[in-house]
Structure 1
Amino acid sequence: MSLPSIYDPNRVGKVYRAYTTTAITEGMAAGHKPASQDDPRVLVMLVDAQVDFIHPEGSLSVPGAVEDTRRTVEWIYQNVGGITKIMASLDTHIPFQIFYPTWWIDEDGNHPAPYTLISAGEVDQGKWKPTLMEDWSVRYVHQLEEGSKKVLTIWPYHTMLGTEGHIIMPALREAISYHAGARQTQPDLYVKGTIPQTEHYSILEPEVKVPGETLGIVNEDLLKQIASYDRIFVMGQAKSHCVLETVTSMVRYYAEHDPEVIKRVTLFDDGMSSVA
């Protein structure tokens, strides 16, 4: 199908106020059947398609992400009549989190620079000390290395709640809105990453489980919702981190509970890139 008039490929990599009303209105006029009538039912999972990961000046910009987003937007428009639901995650952070410089100091009281790796051994030796939740933080770096096989990475401040970097790229947001109007269905938006005590790459679970937190465990309700679709397309940023961990969570859960679901999952490789 031809691309709708609202789409301008030259705007894909830019930050602007999304033309939401136009997108929904144009979608409603496109003449598609309601998504409720779909058979098969098709889910699109957009992982962290946000300004800070995609815009070239984003605080954690992924090389190639603008072109990934252009291909994703065009694919959604071209297949809008066959997409039942669009689900999008929003990586969402606040100033004091365990993977930010604010949480740690060295022996001289200096905070770590972004991309510093903090190992459990270094914490045990006193090279790095937590400024908050000392007992938890020490356990965390050990559990991260033992369970997730990762060393704690200190990240630049990114996708901070309420900032420009937190929003979905506007051209993609327009495609989501167009789909909503065209198929008479709501998009599902999921916030992740707000728990200060843990990293949360996967949409479906944190790196280390946090007792007492609603999002601190495996999100089985969301996994069951995903499993209700006949085809599942996964795309977004970054392929090496949040997309990878989301797919890993899916494979691990469905392998145990419903292996057939794994066969329905397709990775839209043209819509994702890895952190350099």
Structure 2
Amino acid sequence: MLNTSYNEIVNVAKIGTYEKVNLNEVVKQAIEEEVEPAKNDNKKVLFLGIDIQNDFMEEGALGVPGAHKDLERITKFIYNNLEKITSIAVSLDTHELNQIFHPSWWVDSEGKHPEPLTIITAEDVENGKWIPVAHKEESVEYVRQIEEIGRQKLCIWPYHCVKGTPGAALESQFSKIAHFHSVARDTEVKKVVKGQDPLSEKYGIIEPEYSQEDQTDYNLLNYIREFDQVVIAGEAESHCVYESVRQIAEHFSNDIQWLQNIYVLKDGMSCIPGFEEINEKAWNSLVENYGIQLVNSTELEL
């Protein structure tokens, strides 16, 4: 039983509102807790939060409908399992304006940039419907390759999670509960920055959609494998959460017994509108092929 109540840490009404976080107060609260340090855990449990950032909240630059309720359930899950979660790791989608998936990278024959959610195909590029402003050869190669290997087609996204902007920061209420856990259990919040390569999307936390060089994050894979149980949630279900889980599952495909200890919180993620049908089929495939567990946060006992 914690001395600090959930409501003293998380203000549900402020989820997604860019509330200023007083981490000094959070630390002060957490120091008062008398819980076992994480290093003493017999069962090592990782909570992996995918892109729980301001720009993916409902009013953000790339807002995901349902994100606020997702986050309420996520923060309650962490609070209720604070003494059982060994470590928290979070990915931070981090971009610049000029990247291959942002409007400024492309123009049409009239010099106009594509609207957000425009899908650019290899045929579009070859026919001159969309022209890269720079890095023409690499851009054409990228679009062609992601289609050939069956990745998600190039989608132009609104400018989001631009480095140094408030939109790229952890959502305030999640930040508070994550850092509260860190201090109370004497363990660091592991922060994983992704998405900085201008020539590739990087939905998953392990590797970009396509690269001529091996950019697989083997250190992160090894870190994740140290845990007996992994709980995953975040935004968006259809893209960054799914791709992260898929990449982890494919890398450890020879270790099905361990993969069955990966739990994805169904009520801790939401889909970008328009991708629902593809999303459902993709998740069903992961469950069937790798034994990934899809559960509600209220049903999972650590």
- 1:18 equivalent to 2:15? Answer no
Residue 204 of structure 2 contacts residue 241 of structure 2 at CA under 8 Å; is this kept in 1? yes
1:262 corresponds in structure 2 to: 259
- 1:47 equivalent to 2:50? Answer yes
Aligned-partner Cα distance in 2 for 1:226–1:184: 19
Aligned-partner Cα distance in 1 for 2:125–2:16: 40
Q: Identify unmatched segments of 5+ residues in structure 1.
A: none
Counting matched residue pairs gives 270
Report 1:124-135 matches (<5 A): 124-135=126-137
How many angstroms does 1:3 deviate by?
Answer: 2.3
Aligned-partner Cα distance in 2 for 1:151–1:48: 20
Give a deviation string over 1:127-179, Cα, whole Å, max 9, x none.
11111111111111000111134321111000111111111110110001100
**Counterpart of 1:12 in structure 2: which amino acid?**
I
How many angstroms does 1:122 deviate by?
Answer: 1.1
2:247 corresponds in structure 1 to: 249
1:67 corresponds in structure 2 to: 69
How many angstroms does 1:32 deviate by?
Answer: 0.6
* Overall identity of the aligned pairs, in %: 37
Aligned-partner Cα distance in 2 for 1:91–1:121: 29
Change beyond 3 A, Cα 1:30–1:210: farther
Aligned-partner Cα distance in 2 for 1:210–1:53: 29
How many angstroms does 1:210 deviate by?
Answer: 4.3
Q: Which moved more, 1:7-16 or 1:136-145?
A: 7-16
4+ long deviations beyond 6 Å:
none
1:85 corresponds in structure 2 to: 87
Aligned-partner Cα distance in 2 for 1:210–1:234: 29
How many angstroms does 1:246 deviate by?
Answer: 0.3
Change beyond 3 A, Cα 1:15–1:131: same
Aligned-partner Cα distance in 2 for 1:146–1:114: 23
**Counterpart of 1:233 in structure 2: which amino acid?**
V
TM-score (norm 2): 0.87
CA RMSD of the aligned region, Å? 1.3
Q: Secondary structure at the match of 1:148?
A: coil
Q: Secondary structure at the match of 1:241?
A: helix
**Counterpart of 2:92 in structure 1: which amino acid?**
L
Residue 25 of structure 1 contacts residue 178 of structure 1 at CA under 8 Å; is this kept in 2? no
Q: 1:202 aligns with which of 177, 201, 204?
A: 204
2:194 corresponds in structure 1 to: 192
How many angstroms does 1:4 deviate by?
Answer: 5.7
Residue 151 of structure 2 contacts residue 209 of structure 2 at CA under 8 Å; is this kept in 1? no
**Counterpart of 1:269 in structure 2: which amino acid?**
K
Q: 1:6 aligns with which of 5, 9, 12?
A: 9
1:181 corresponds in structure 2 to: 183
Aligned-partner Cα distance in 2 for 1:22–1:188: 21
How many angstroms does 1:19 deviate by?
Answer: 2.2
Q: Secondary structure at the match of 1:43?
A: strand
Q: Identify unmatched segments of 5+ residues in structure 2.
A: 274-302
How many angstroms does 1:22 deviate by?
Answer: 1.5
Q: Which moved more, 1:240-249 or 1:142-151?
A: 142-151
Report 1:223-242 matches (<5 A): 223-242=221-240
Higher relative contact order (CA 8 A, sep 6+): 1
